Amino acid sequence: MHDNPVKVALRSGATSTGTWLTLGSPAVAEALAHCGFDWLVVDLEHAPNDPASAVEQLRAVDAARANGGRAEAIVRLAENDPVLAKRAMDIGARTLIFPNVNSADEAQAAVRAMRYPQNGNAGVRGVAGLVRAGRYGLDPVYVKNANEQVCTIVQIESRSGVDNAAAICATEGVDCVFLGPSDLAASLGHLGDTWHPEVVEAMRSVVAQARKAGKATGVFANDADDAKLFISWGVTFIGLHSDVRWLCQGAQQEAGRLEAGLQAEQAIKVHTAS
């Protein structure tokens, strides 16, 4: 079992970038895994995914890595639930993002959900050897070594989460605290305004609390300019929007360029004819 590169980067303080997979497409996952990202998030919260579709995307990312890509697959769960965590890990995910974590107790529940019971760690992950994560039972040491490679990322995206950020960040076993600007803005009464001063202040306060606790922070960024600003705050785990954004943005840009060119050409023809 090779070291989890997401966990290694978070603990070293290195900046890493990824994007969200929301289209449920293994082909899109494989293609984006060749585009220079460090990780890709298979989203089970706001995308038409379930474990059956997620495992195909994990296979696609693994195939890309075997052919020169470097991206590692991450899974974001639909909710902070140990059953959902167990199923995501059994299909091969080593890094999970738990949405809407509002307290230290909820953060601790996420940590426990990812770990097999071992050495008094209070883990609650159910043990099954014949799963993809353990090469379908062909990896004789997977169960014993799995806990060493798990990476727990918890999302703070509410007023309660911000209020309890210090305790959440101090929770043993949490590797990264991830900010969800859109939900946080809504929780603070500023739906759709992720750059409202109160939202910015809340996000920066979480980054500061994480730094005090020696934990990494992550954030969902709309574009590279936003990402650079977050990095200047000390954020090291940057989610650079999503597959659907890059697809639609690229299509709109080129369709717009073509339309503008055709209109200019038509104008020239009209002017010449007159």
Q: State the DSSP string of 146-159.
A: HHHH-EEEEEE-SH
46, 190, 196, 271: the catalytic one is 46
User: Distance between CA atoms of 69 and 29, rounded to whole angstroms?
Assistant: 11
Angstrom CA distances, 53 to 34, 57, 255, stand at 20, 7, 31
Q: Tokens 């954030």 label which residue?
A: 219
* Residue of 119, 117, 114 lying closest to 133 (CA atoms): 114
What is the C-alpha R_g of the chain? 21
User: Distance between CA atoms of 235 and 239, rounded to whole angstroms?
Assistant: 11
Tokens of 105: 């107790």
User: Distance between CA atoms of 124 and 22, rounded to whole angstroms?
Assistant: 29
Is-catalytic flag, 46?
yes
User: Distance between CA atoms of 41 and 96, rounded to whole angstroms?
Assistant: 9
* Residue of 157, 154, 220 lying closest to 188 (CA atoms): 157
Catalytic residues: 46
